[in-house]
Amino acid sequence: MSDTPSPRAARSRERLLRAATDLLVESGPRGVTVDAVAEASGVAKSTLYRQWSSRDDMLIDVVRCNIPALTQPNLTDGFESALRWYVNDGAATLADPEWSRIIPAMMSLQVTMPAVAACIEIDRTSKTATLRTIVDLGIEEGILPADIDVEMASRILFGPLVYSSLLGDQDQLDKLAVEVVDRFLAPYAV
């Protein structure tokens, strides 16, 4: 059932993924050619085709492996603490220059490659579910109204961060994160 991932194969795979990611960041999807990845990684094309059946398969894997996983928020310190923690974590992720340079490529690939869109969809579903647990805590604490729209909250909280990152301003994301949460919570303050 579980195929043993030979240590050698795993190492080659890592190198290929690393090189492909770099090429994607530097040159966009167009730069991620089989030959370029092979040369940049120091791994032969034949080995690349032992890992993936096609260039597109590889590209999908590159995207999949580069979607960052946010850490699960600690709910024991209460709603506001958890929310601030989660949004700050998102801002920190977006502030990573490498990740922020991959986003545009992913957004572009999403349109033409359904598999990439699926990866992003899965990730977003998971992140929305996490936000859902935080919001539920807020409702439980009587801070948020019970009928609050989690999707809209997600847009209002993370939209400015993603937008700012896309525009190339990663420097003040942490400040923006604080501002965004402040404004989000303001209407519900006692």
Partner DNA sequence: TATCATCGCTACGAAACCGTTTCGTTGCGA
Partner DNA sequence: TCGCAACGAAACGGTTTCGTAGCGATGATA
- The residues that touch a copy of itself, with contacts defined as CB under 8 A, are 25-31, 101, 103-105, 107-112, 124, 151-152, 155-156, 158-164, 166-167, 169, 176, 179-180, 183-184, 186-187
The one of a copy of itself, DNA, none whose footprint includes residue 163, by CB under 5 to 8 A per kind, is: a copy of itself
Q: Which range in 37-45, 71-79, 82-90, 150-158 contacts DNA by CB under 7 A? A: 37-45
Task: Report the distance separating Cα 123 and Cα 46, nearest Å.
Answer: 31
Decide: is 145 part of the binding site for DNA (CB under 7 A).
Answer: no
Between 25 and 134, CB nearer to a copy of itself:
25
Between 25 and 176, CB nearer to DNA:
25
The one of a copy of itself, DNA, none whose footprint includes residue 2, by CB under 5 to 8 A per kind, is: none
Task: Report the distance separating Cα 64 and Cα 30, nearest Å.
Answer: 18
Put residue 28 in one of left, alpha, beta given phi > 0 → left and psi -120 to 50 → alpha. Answer: left
Residues in touch with DNA (CB under 7 A):
6-9, 11-13, 15, 33-36, 42-47, 49-51, 53-56
